[in-house]
């Protein structure tokens, strides 16, 4: 089964079923299938060959979904471009993937047009809207989709198999140059089946999507629900969280998904605590660690809906494990057990499996693990070894098979020769009700090599109580893990999926530190 078969089957089995809601309009599976076929045919007529990469720069919408499946039907490979990408990021991903086509919309023309001939392999741009500015981009043919004749015959779509490449998903770049994760049809479909199983999805489910489809977590929401001929509702207005909650109520959605910052915003900057959601069946959280104290708050606010804590990576398409809601409070801080068709192990630096209770690197194997990084054999060899994927996360497993993350191999801070994990510090800070968000990073220190800097976004602007935070940490974490600096910020830089960009924070804070403006904790 290929990814585009998910829509093909739904169009046949449930043609009149509502598939996608966006801007107060539903589109059925039949309508979506017709639109997708039309775009696929257009791409083939314009010269798309099997295996060609097609960049998609679109907001979540009906058109995004139709375009995504169209590229796959035509035998192409999807390259998702984040809607918050800079011109240089767009240029890098388009050129690195050697994309021949770009599917976009009017609002991104000001980003695309100046790039011109620097888009070295790009030949065609397909725009969503019928009208708008007429860009002149040297060497590129511009087509507006609504103006294309709809009476042309469908071409025969190329044959693909499940080990063919479906997507190149670029990592967020929060820790360096973005890497293109190569995901096959098999990677995606097998993992979607596993997710459907533990979430117990049926065709009666309706998921509210606020996460971008270019983000693998957001993509999984789309594909799992289409696999079950269920429905998704798109609301891109999370900057106004109460609007999203209105949609949740009005459409009687059964599912909602977010990253940790999503739930922190809802808990502290919305009216979620004043509402009830009688149709909501489940909540999922992934995309980073959410402190146990926050997990409890989320579970309480959305009860009786069940909270699923999930763990994974883009390289795993994306899910590796989940914590059953029944174990949420019995196994506080756990990422649960492996999903179907995935093995998880705790290994030492030599790749040997460690016994329960010992700390090592979380490794995984399964049909969902990526093919590798696009044209980057060196980085691929670092994480794919001996038939296993090495996640870079440090963890342990207990006697009952529940896994726990204790830190990241790349997010350790070396203080006076000792390696300190940041997760324990962040979780402890988030226990304070005055704290909205926190980010702990290592900053340069001439004496200790690195020093620990704890950055805090308070719930109420102007609250800056270093003494309270320092006293609390002295009770909760070892002395070697005590921050040398505690600073307060109004917000943190994040990518479009809501992940905090720690590399950017670290660079900025080192500059501030060198200026002598940071406060040392007494």
Residues sharing a CB contact under 8 Å with residue 468, sequence separation 6 or more, in sequence order: 432, 434
Do 8 and 59 share a structural domain? yes
Neighbours of 485 (CB within 10 A): 20
Phi-psi region of 209 (alpha: psi -120 to 50; beta: other; left: phi over 0): beta
User: What's the structural domain count of the chain?
Assistant: 3
Question: Looking at 378, 408, 438, which one is the last position of a domain?
Answer: 408
CA distances from 415 to 369, 388, 392, 411 (A): 34, 31, 20, 13
Q: What is the pTM of this model?
A: 0.84
Please tell me the distance from the alpha carbon of residue 419 to that of residue 415, in angstroms, as a whole number.
Answer: 6
Q: Are residues 104 and 193 in the same domain?
A: no
Q: Is residue 283 part of a domain?
A: yes
* Domain shared by 395 and 423, yes or no: no
Establish if 166 belongs to a structural domain. Answer: no
- Residues facing residue 412 across a β-bridge: 421
Distance CA 340, CA 235 (A): 30
CATH number at residue 338: 3.40.50.12780
User: Would you state the structure tokens that stand for residue 274, as one six-digit string?
Assistant: 């004043």
The answer to whether residue 519 is domain-embedded is no
Residues 212 and 130 in one domain: no
Neighbours of 270 (CB within 10 A): 17
pLDDT in tens, the chain (522 residues): 999 999 999 999 999 999 999 999 999 999 999 999 999 999 999 999 999 999 999 999 999 999 999 999 999 999 999 998 888 889 999 999 999 999 999 999 999 988 888 999 999 999 999 888 877 777 788 899 987 766 656 678 999 999 999 999 998 543 457 899 999 999 999 999 999 999 999 999 999 999 999 999 999 999 999 999 999 999 999 999 999 999 999 999 999 999 888 998 999 899 999 999 999 999 999 988 788 888 999 999 999 999 999 999 999 999 999 999 999 999 989 999 999 999 999 999 888 999 999 999 999 999 999 999 999 999 999 999 989 999 999 999 999 999 999 877 666 676 765 667 788 899 899 999 999 999 999 888 766 668 899 999 999 999 999 999 999 998 888 788 899 999 999 999 988 778 888 878 988 988 887 776 655 554
Residue 176 located in a structural domain: no
pLDDT of residue 176: 52
What's the pLDDT score for residue 515? Answer: 76
Kindly state whether residues 97 and 82 are assigned to the same domain.
Answer: yes
Give yes or no: residues 397 and 432 share one domain: no
Q: Are 330 and 433 found together in one domain? A: no
Domain annotation covers residue 62: yes
Same domain, 350 and 496: no
**Three-class SS of 96-118:** HCCCCEEEECHHHHHHHHHHHHH
Instruction: List the alpha helices (DSSP H) in 430-465.
Output: none
Separation of alpha carbons 188 and 420, rounded Å = 35
Identify the three-state secondary structure at position 38: helix
- Residue 496, preceding peptide bond in cis (omega within 30° of 0): no
Closest CA to 310 of 292, 337, 271, 330: 337
Q: Would you call 177 helix, strand, or coil by DSSP?
A: coil
Cβ pair 95, 121 in contact under 8 A: yes
d(CA 404, CA 393) in angstroms, rounded, equals: 10
Helices (H) and strands (E) in the chain, counts: 14, 27
**Shared-domain flag, residues 270 and 326:** yes
- Please say whether the beta carbons of 407 and 421 come within 8 A: yes
Print the domain residue range for 419: 412-514
Residues 257 and 343 in one domain: yes
User: In terms of domains, do 88 and 139 share one?
Assistant: yes
């Amino acid at each position: 089964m290929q990814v585009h078969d998910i829509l093909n089957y739904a169009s046949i089995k449930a043609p009149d079923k509502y598939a996608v809601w966006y801007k107060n309009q539903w589109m059925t599976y039949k309508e979506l299938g017709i639109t997708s076929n039309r775009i696929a045919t257009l791409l083939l007529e314009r010269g798309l060959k099997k295996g060609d990469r097609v960049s998609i720069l679109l907001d979540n919408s009906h058109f995004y979904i139709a375009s995504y499946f169209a590229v796959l039907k035509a035998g192409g490979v999807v390259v998702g471009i984040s809607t918050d990408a800079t011109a240089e990021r767009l240029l890098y991903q388009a050129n690195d993937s050697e994309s021949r086509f770009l599917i976009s919309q009017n609002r991104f023309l000001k980003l695309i047009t100046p790039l011109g001939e620097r888009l070295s392999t790009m030949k065609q741009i397909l725009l969503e809207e019928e009208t708008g500015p007429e860009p002149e981009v040297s060497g590129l043919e511009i087509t507006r989709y609504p103006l294309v004749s709809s009476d042309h015959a469908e071409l025969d779509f190329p044959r693909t198999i499940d080990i063919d490449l479906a997507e190149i998903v670029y990592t967020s770049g929060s820790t360096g140059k973005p890497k293109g994760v190569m995901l096959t049809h098999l990677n995606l479909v097998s993992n979607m089946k596993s997710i459907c199983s533990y979430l117990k999805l049926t065709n009666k489910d309706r998921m509210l999507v606020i996460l971008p489809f270019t983000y693998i977590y957001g993509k999984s929401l789309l594909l799992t629900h289409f696999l079950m001929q269920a429905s998704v509702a798109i609301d891109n207005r999370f900057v106004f969280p109460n609007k999203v909650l209105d949609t949740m109520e009005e459409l009687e959605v059964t599912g909602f998904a977010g990253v940790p910052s999503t739930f922190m915003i809802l808990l502290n900057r919305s009216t979620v605590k004043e509402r009830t959601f009688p149709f909501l069946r489940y909540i999922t959280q992934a995309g980073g660690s959410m402190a146990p104290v926050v997990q409890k708050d989320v579970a309480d606010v959305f009860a009786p809906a069940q909270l699923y804590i999930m763990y994974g990576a883009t390289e795993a398409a994306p899910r590796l494990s989940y914590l059953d809601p029944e174990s949420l409070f019995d196994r506080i801080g756990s990422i649960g057990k492996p999903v179907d068709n995935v093995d998880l192990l705790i290994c030492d630096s030599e790749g040997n499996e460690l016994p329960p209770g010992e700390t090592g690197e979380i490794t995984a194997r399964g049909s969902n693990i990526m093919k590798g990084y696009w044209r980057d054999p060196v980085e691929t060899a670092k994480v794919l070894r001996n038939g296993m994927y090495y996640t870079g996360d440090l963890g342990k497993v207990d006697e009952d098979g529940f896994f726990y993350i204790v830190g990241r191999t790349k997010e350790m801070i070396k203080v006076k020769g000792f390696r300190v994990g940041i997760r324990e510090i962040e979780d402890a800070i988030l226990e304070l009700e005055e704290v909205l968000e926190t980010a702990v990073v290592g900053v340069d220190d001439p004496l200790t090599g690195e020093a620990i800097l704890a950055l805090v976004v308070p719930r109420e602007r102007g609250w800056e109580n270093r003494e309270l935070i320092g006293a609390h940490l002295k009770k909760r974490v070892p002395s070697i893990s005590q921050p040398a600096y505690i600073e307060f910020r109004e917000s943190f830089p994040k990518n479009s999926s809501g992940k905090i960009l720690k590399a950017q924070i670290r660079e900025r804070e080192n500059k501030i530190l060198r200026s002598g403006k940071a406060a040392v904790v007494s």
